[in-house]
Amino acid sequence: MKNLIVFACLLCSITSFAQKNTNERAQWFTDSRFGMFIHWGVYSAAEGYWKGEKLRHDNDYAEWILYRNRIDRDEYVTLLDLFQWDEIDPEEWVILAKKSGMKYITITAKHHDGFGLWDSKVSDYDLGDYTNPKRDIIAEMAEACKKHGIKLCLYYSHWVDWEHPLGWDHSREIYKLSASDYDRYWQQKVIPQITELLTNYGEISMLWFDMWIHHSESIVSKEQLLQLKSLIRDLQPNCLVNSRLGLSIDEDPDIDYKTLGDNQLGDKKEDFPWQSPATVAHSWGFHSSDSQWKSTTTLLKSLIGNVSLNGNFMLNIGPRANGDVPYEISQRMLEMGKWLQVNGESIYGAEAFDLNKDLHDWGKITCKQDESSFKLFLHIYNWPLNKQLNLTGISATPQKVYLLADKQKSPLSFSHSGAFTEVALPADQPDPYVSVVIVEYPSKPEITDGLVAKTSDDGYSLLPGNQNPQPQPIKITPPAKYGTIPAFVAADGVTDFSWKIYVDQPGTKRVDVSYSFQGNRNNSQIVLKASGQSLYHSVHPTGQTVGEPNQDWHIDNFESNEIGTIDFPQPGFYTIELSIQPTEADPIKFQWLWIN
């Protein structure tokens, strides 16, 4: 089989800016980018254990303990006796959010346990009926958010309710529940409680629903969801509604934004608003055994990565039954807040740029148009040892380059040629987590699409997966055996690859190719063509290697081979063509081509 891969390079002039499918209601949301999630309720006092038994699920979602450990409803609320109400001050959570650089807060007004954090007149399963004097955490949150300029958003579990006799409990997969009985729950509890929340607590900026499947897979009907959404639009027209209502954006364009899965980060640029809900460790509600804390750097990279694809990041706290936020969480959030005090311009109101998200090995790009210039924010995850930052794919010459952390905006030296800009960095990075370089242009710059970027160590890593456009017929085998077997393309017939690079420094460059071949003869060959020159490499058997000692873990060996040199006589665009030409039944497993 012959896969002829045609490479096309397109010089693009971008005429529009901003997320195209953002309605007026959601503009504040895409400008904010960073929010706080709060999971706090009766379950917070259990701390992941019931009568000495750990939560019955390895995911350790502490807020699920009522369901997982099959706790009686009336026994469950005895956990409220452990709450230290004199110490609980929701304003402290709001202050933490503000210091952390967060612009909105979403709190669990009612989670799946059905217990409300406000004084509900609809149900007797809420704080108003179980505290003396009465506490209304939603009212306290509303007051604190207004005081500190934070938008208040509410989580409400509409689909699942373990308390109401006719609410959805997953045991109903065994013990059936009729649609008419479920509608009684819907009309008796969901609709009137949402009416309460949107009537009694001032502006609610967003309702965050948590049906993680499409309504067609659940007991909830589309008509019920539309009824709920219509109620929200009537009571508070500016209140955002997320896709976990149970309606996809494709199905209903009136849904304001898409919610990804728990701790799922973005992997592609979207033109509509979207958000990742995330945790610092794993559980959402407080779990005393949580220990897998993500680092501040990891969390910052998650935020930056989402913004670089037009997404938001909502990071969770799970306070204890005395209101305290675990130190590991608050510490990391406050460190993020300090980073945002310096680098927030690259996040708030910033958006995705048009280059491929994985183009550069040093980090991610966000961008913003202001009154006088267009700014690229280069988030550098790995400060280059050679103190040179390689920026590939932009055809325009920058007006100015400087560090975002430098209040004086002292210019950094740079050179520009064709579609390549090289920035001279200072010896010391300004931030220990992620440093940001601003590249200014008079207007949004044109890009040269389809290039493979020059790496931080001044080479070109040409992979089956970074051809652009990616050919349809090609099949990339993903890594296996814990990555000891790398990704590859198995060429069982003549298979052609093509990439385009921009060479800023002409001269002679070495070419290496990595492959695995388990045949016995060396009649097969690999041919490379570039800059009017050709290189020929006779394929040889690479044998096997041991992937993991003492485990009978024997795998095909992938071996790097120097195949010669190519002279690039002048700066410019060059097409690199590679042809894998096997002559026997055993395939040649191509991994990568390296030019340096």
Contacts of 243 (CB under 8 A, 6+ apart): 249, 255, 257, 258, 259
Burial code of 355-390, b = ≥16 C-beta within 10 A, e = fewer? bbbebbebbbbbbbeeeebbbbbbbbbebbeeebbb
Task: Please tell us whether the domain made up of 459-595 is placed in CATH 2.60.120.260.
Answer: yes
Residue 23: enclosing H or E segment and its boundaries? none
Helix, strand and coil in the chain, % to nearest 5: 25, 30, 50
- Copy the structure tokens of residue 13: 């002039």
Region(s) of the chain under CATH 2.60.40.1180: 353-448
Write down the pLDDT at residue 585. 83
Residue 13 predicted with pLDDT over 70: no
- Return the structure tokens found at 242: 């997320």
Q: Which token pair is 457?
A: 């160590």
pLDDT in tens, 219-253: 999 999 999 999 999 999 999 999 999 998 889 99
Question: pLDDT by residue (tens digit) across 75-114?
Answer: 999 999 999 999 999 999 999 999 999 999 999 999 999 9
Q: At what angle do helices 90-99 and 137-148 cross, to 10 degrees?
A: 30
575: pLDDT strictly greater than 90: yes
pLDDT at residue 11 greater than cutoff 80: no
Q: What is the pLDDT of residues 254-301, one digit of tens each?
A: 999 999 999 999 999 999 999 999 999 999 999 999 999 999 999 999
In this structure, are residues 525 and 537 in contact, taking their beta carbons and an 8 Å threshold? yes
By the 10 Å C-beta count (0-12 exposed, 13-18 middle, 19+ buried), 524 is classed as buried
Q: What angle do CA 308, 312, 316 make, to 5 degrees?
A: 130
Instruction: Determine the pLDDT at residue 5.
Output: 32
> What does residue 336 show for φ and ψ, rounded to 5 degrees?
-65, -40
Q: Could you tell me how many residues make up the chain?
A: 596
Which among 258, 299, 279, 356 has a CA at the least distance from the CA of 29? 258
Check whether 17 has a pLDDT greater than 70: no
Mean pLDDT computed over 530-547: 96
Residue 508, Cβ density class (10 Å: 0-12 exposed, 13-18 middle, ≥19 buried): exposed
Region 470-497 average pLDDT: 93
The highest-level CATH class for domain 39-344 is: alpha beta
Q: What's the CA gap between 245 and 210, in Å, rounded?
A: 7
User: Using one digit for the tens of pLDDT, what is the confidence trace for 349-367?
Assistant: 999 999 999 999 999 999 9
Write out the two tokens for 431: 């931030």
pLDDT mean across residues, the chain: 94
Distance CA 521, CA 337 (A): 61
Predicted confidence (pLDDT) at residue 139 exceeds the cutoff of 50: yes
CATH 3.20.20.80 domain position(s) in the chain = 39-344
Please list the residue range(s) of the chain that carry CATH number 2.60.120.260.
459-595
Share of the chain above pLDDT 70, in %: 97
Q: How far apart are CA 596 and CA 381, in angstroms?
A: 23
The answer, yes or no, to whether residue 417 has pLDDT greater than 60, is yes
pTM given for the model: 0.93
Query: Which pLDDT band, with edges at 50, 70 and 90, does 502 fall under?
Result: very high
Helix axes 327-343, 90-99, angle to 10 degrees: 40
In this predicted model, what pLDDT tens digit does every residue of 432-478 receive, in sequence order?
A: 999 999 999 999 999 999 999 999 999 999 999 999 888 878 899 99
Other beta carbons within 10 Å of 349: 18
Q: What is the pLDDT of residue 8?
A: 33
Read off the pLDDT of each residue in 179-189 and give the average, rounded to a whole number.
Answer: 97
Superfamily of domain 353-448: Golgi alpha-mannosidase II (2.60.40.1180)
The three-state (H, E, C) secondary structure of 489-506, written as one string:
EEECCCEEEEEEEEECCC
pLDDT band at 19 (very low <50, low <70, confident <90, very high): low
Both structure tokens of 506: 């002409």
For residue range 380-394, list pLDDT tens digits in order.
999 999 999 999 999
Q: Sorting pLDDT into bands at 50, 70 and 90, what band is 571?
A: very high
Where residue 4 falls among pLDDT bands split at 50, 70, 90? very low
Phi, psi of 321 (to 5 degrees): -75, -5
